[in-house]
Chain A
Amino acid sequence: MENVLCLNRSTGDTSVACCMGSLRTRKNTCGVSVQRIMATVQVSEAEKVYVLHGVRDDLRVDGRGCEDYRHMEIETEMVSNTDGSAKVTLGHTDVLVGVKAEIGKPRPMVPDEGYLEFFVDCSANATPEFEGRGGDELGMELSNTLYKVFNNRYSVDLKSLSISPGEHCWVLYVDVLLLQCDGNLFDAISVAIKAALFNTKIPKVHISEDEEGGKEIELSDDPYDCMRLNVENVPCIVTLCKVGHRHVVDATLQEKACSVASLIISVTHKGTVTCVRKVGGGSLDPESIFEMTETGKRVGKALHAPLMELLQEEESLGKKRQKVGFLDTTLIVAVSHCP
């Protein structure tokens, strides 16, 4: 699929959706309108009691156990004008990630490394609460957590992003777009980032000296002559919500409303923890934190293997892959035209 076309019936014209370059300049992009019935966030006392007892008995409202994820669908290479992209659907949560590689100046403290920049956009498509500046706070929180998660030498091999030390390096701009919000944003975003980084193709550069002694950078013209990133050590985030005395993985909005505190853990494929954050207004005692960390490590470790397998499988399908794109979301068909 060359460009993602989005039909906007109210204006009657077709426009390119999710132009990743323009996301950072905050131009208004026409996203795909999705009409689903949003899970209610308010819960009554009786519902809370029901959910609590369910979690205690390891049978959640939708029949899952406390450590089960919802159905996840992953697709890469959806947006053609990025260097790598991925879309992850986890239950009703929809996340789109695009990675663009640009040449920039390395940071003064580490002249022989490139770096990553994260930006999360909570679009009003996800929920009406994100209209205007409503989604900015959540977007900032998500971006800051991502910076913390990737702030170490092992997640991404930053030295491979260097072109000429002290002068040029690759800067990877990772843009995350929230299309639909149904709980568990961190997990979906981290899986999407890992898939997008796996899919990223950075063009190879040749540095040549011209007459005056200045360096000239040449990008190779061949689209297949590119460098791929090693994403083995990229961590995945696991969010654990404390509901009653037990904790659950991949909480829906309803379960989130019944919990007072959550723990966000980022885990690599070896089980190493790179970042731990506590969110929520309630308190967690140290024993709970220990238990939740252990569960998080176990669950996080188990996420990586199937993900890498799936990404390899998708890559090996090559041109035979059936591209789905945004076709599985329901478009609003009826628009009132009354004068």
Chain B
Amino acid sequence: MAADMRLPTIRKQVSLSSSLSALDGKDLVVPGDVITSDTGFMRGHGTYMDEEKLTASVAGEVERVNKLICVRPLKTRFNGEVGDVVVGRITEVQQKRWKVETNSRLDSVLLLSSVNLPGGELVSGMDSIYLGIRKCEVQSVFSDGALSLHTRSLKYGKLGQGVLVQLSPSLIKRQKTHFHNLPCGASIILGNNGFVWLYPTPGHQDEEAGGYYTSLEPVSLSDREVISRLRNCLLALGAHKVLLYDTSVLYCYESSLPHQIKDILKPEVMEEIVMMTRQKLVELEG
């Protein structure tokens, strides 16, 4: 019940000495850095010409492909590609489509014709709309950068009870599957756009409904604790810029078990947990 008050301290970046050497090989630039004075290169995204010198306009890594130089920013809004799995929130309802917020530059579009209802029916604009969170796949990209989504397969659809965590899209590792049933008792969907959905692992009968039947029954306390702990772990990993995938999340969860759930967000506990996770990940690789 007591409030935890303290004086602020300058937070240090948690890093292992081994990871620093990995960064030496990469070419990191900040806005204004001159990449090259050679005029033989074509300039790509994230660069501009400043008095015949190719200069970076965003902070990130330099990528050279034959004659093309571009800078890929470290922290950016979600730039979707075809086939990405995203978790989005329906913000607006229009005549034949829904607008979905996916942490990108423009709202994404979910056409009603791309939505499957159980039983094969289609949805018309006049039906009552569930404003909710959906798991969808990117179908195509419009010329202005807006994404067109679809939820054609039974895997995708409306999400029921759970917790949404918003992180930077550059922290999510691209993998084959984005749905994971973690052994600790909860399930996680790592959307490519940085939205991560945590929910209690559904029982057998829910899977057949295709995700349109939302169970509003109370979730058990043990499941709730697991989900809260996972949420705090995700925020801790996000704050220390650790790449997110099922293994790293699981290691972080295990490292956090000795602490109370609400203590995980304290700066010193966060640092400790992330250090342990990073060490475990390094051991796994090498």
Contact = CB atoms under 8 A, between A and B. Distances in A.
Interface of A: 9, 35, 37, 39-40, 42, 44-47, 49-50, 53-54, 56-57, 59-65, 67-75, 89, 298-299, 302-303, 306-307, 310, 313-314, 321-322, 324, 327-328, 333-339
B225 interface: yes
Contact of A46 (B32, B132, B228, B265): B132
A50 B229 contact: no
B231 A333 contact: no
B7, B89, B167, B168, most chain A CB atoms within 10 A = B7
B131 interface: yes
Interface stretch (B139-147, B202-210, B212-220, B272-280): B212-220
Contacts of A299: 1
A69 B2 CA distance: 8
B59 A333 contact: yes
B161 A47 contact: yes
Contact of A324 (B3, B10, B260): B10
B133 interface: yes
Interface in B40-86: 48, 55, 57-60, 73, 75
B91 interface: yes
Contacts of A64: 262
Contacts of A334: 30-31, 57-60, 73, 75
Nearest to A327: B10
A57 B224 contact: yes
Interface in B212-246: 214, 216, 218-219, 221, 224-225, 228-229, 231-232
A64 B262 CA distance: 5
Given A63-B225, A337-B31, 7 more contacts: A46-B133, A47-B163, A54-B224, A59-B224, A62-B262, A68-B3, A73-B8
A287 to B, nearest CB: 22
A338 B266 contact: no
B181 interface: no
A57 B222 CA distance: 11
Given A63-B261, A67-B1, A75-B7, A44 B132 contact: yes
Given A44-B133, A322-B9, A336 B58 contact: yes
A163 B254 CA distance: 63
A72 B1 contact: no
Given A37-B168, A61-B163, A338-B48, A74 B7 contact: yes
Contact of A339 (B48, B59, B231, B261): B48
Contact of B164 (A47, A322, A333, A335): A47
A7 to B, nearest CB: 12
Complex A-B, nearest 5 residue pairs according to Cβ-Cβ distance, in ascending order? A63-B261, A69-B3, A44-B132, A63-B228, A73-B8
B7 A63 contact: no
Contacts of A310: 5-7
Nearest to A70: B265
Given A42-B91, A44-B131, A302 B3 contact: yes
A69 B4 contact: yes
B162 interface: yes
A72 B3 contact: yes
Contacts of B219: 50, 53
Interface residues of chain B: helix, strand, loop or mixed (majority): loop
Interface residues of chain A: helix, strand, loop or mixed (majority): loop
B31 A9 contact: yes
Contact of B2 (A63, A70, A75, A306): A306
Contacts of B261: 62-63
A334 B163 CA distance: 31
Contact of A59 (B89, B132, B225): B225
B162 A46 contact: yes
A50 B30 contact: no
B160 interface: yes
Contacts of A70: 265
A338 B8 contact: no
A69 B6 CA distance: 13
A69, A75, A307, most chain B CB atoms within 10 A = A69
B176 interface: no
A63 B232 contact: yes
27 contacts: A35-B75, A37-B103, A46-B160, A46-B216, A50-B162, A53-B219, A57-B218, A60-B228, A61-B228, A62-B231, A63-B228, A63-B264, A67-B1, A68-B262, A69-B3, A72-B5, A72-B6, A73-B5, A89-B8, A298-B1, A302-B1, A314-B7, A328-B8, A333-B31, A334-B59, A334-B60, A335-B57
B114 interface: no
A59 B228 contact: yes
Nearest to B58: A334
Nearest to B200: A50
A305 to B, nearest CB: 9
Contacts of A89: 8
Nearest to B266: A71
Nearest to A12: B32
B9 A324 contact: yes
Nearest to B167: A37
B186 interface: no
Nearest to B260: A63
Contacts of B214: 45-46
A312 B261 CA distance: 30
